Amino acid sequence: MALSAACDEAFLRALSGADPAWPGGLWLKGEPLHTQRPAARLRYAHSRCAVAPRVGKLLPELTVAENVALPLLLTGLGRQEARRRALRWLERLDVIACAELRVADLDLAEMRRVALARALVLEPAILLAEDPTEGLSSSERFHLLRILRAACGTHGLTIVVASDDADVVAWADRRIAVKVGGAEAVAEAVTEPSTEPTAEPVREPALQPAPEPISLFGHAARAMPHRIGRHARSEHRGTPVGSGSERGR
């Protein structure tokens, strides 16, 4: 399924249920995610969906195989099994020859396939990717789309791609145009003159300045009227307070 390029990675993460960005309902394979607790929703979304990371999110200090196996290691899977699954997906995406290379040694097409392998290694049911063919030549785009189409058939995978690439749109089974309201539309709505009569604004009384804080030892306290009468002072003069030299004060 091809979405318009107005959808970014944050939009795709919201579709996966990992990071809901709007109020409303969200169903994933018949499961209502919006009724679940955040931890349960995130766990369910990660087990069923995968958002392909951008090329810049690949770790340069790790090899290609280690980058792909990283999501499995974070789930607690053993190193050998994680490496075996990572190599299997690198082979399926036709980038197995780069398994022991660093990310800096790859070209853009290889980086994009490695990013897809890192998302697919978790065996998700739904893959969401933001413009995976950006910057690729026509032959590289055709090769990548052919691999993704094969993955749909062999693994029962649903792929949701946000892109305006004509090749991606042609290969997609469904095409959805998503309209995202931006700041420009809001600005137009605000600056557009209104033809409806406006009511007179209700004028609120002006706020009076707050009085100066009264301090017990400050100068502001001296201006206060002394309301303790002489009889009150003489009434407690003989009352014993404290002990020793303080008695009678």
Identify whether the C-beta of residue 25 lies closer than 8 Å to the C-beta of residue 32: yes
pLDDT band at residue 46 under the 50/70/90 scheme: confident
Select, from the ranges 17-21, 51-55, 58-62, the one with the highest average predicted confidence (pLDDT): 58-62
H helices of the chain, in order, are 9-16, 38-48, 64-74, 79-92, 108-120, 138-155, 166-171, 183-191, 230-235
pLDDT band at residue 215 under the 50/70/90 scheme: very low
Model pLDDT, residue 125: 87
Tell whether the model's pLDDT for residue 6 goes beyond 90: no
Which residues have a Cβ under 8 Å from the Cβ of 49 and sit 6 or more positions away? 15, 16, 17, 18, 28, 124, 125, 126, 127, 128
Neighbours of 44 (CB within 10 A): 18
More confident residue, 137 or 190: 137
Identify whether the C-beta of residue 69 lies closer than 8 Å to the C-beta of residue 42: no
Tell whether the model's pLDDT for residue 156 goes beyond 60: yes
Map out the domains of the chain with their CATH numbers. Answer: 2-180 (3.40.50.300)
Q: What is the mean pLDDT of the chain?
A: 74
More confident residue, 94 or 236: 94
pLDDT band at residue 5 under the 50/70/90 scheme: low
Model pLDDT, residue 131: 86
Tell whether the model's pLDDT for residue 91 goes beyond 90: yes
Type of residue found at 218: G
Tell whether the model's pLDDT for residue 235 goes beyond 50: no
User: For residue 186, how far is the Cα from the chain centroid?
Assistant: 23
The pLDDT of 2-29, averaged and rounded, is: 74
Model pLDDT, residue 26: 79
From the DSSP assignment, how many helices (H) and strands (E) are in the chain? 9, 7
The pLDDT of 85-104, averaged and rounded, is: 93
More confident residue, 225 or 75: 75
Tell whether the model's pLDDT for residue 199 goes beyond 80: no
Identify whether the C-beta of residue 162 lies closer than 8 Å to the C-beta of residue 129: yes
User: Has this prediction a pTM greater than 0.85?
Assistant: no
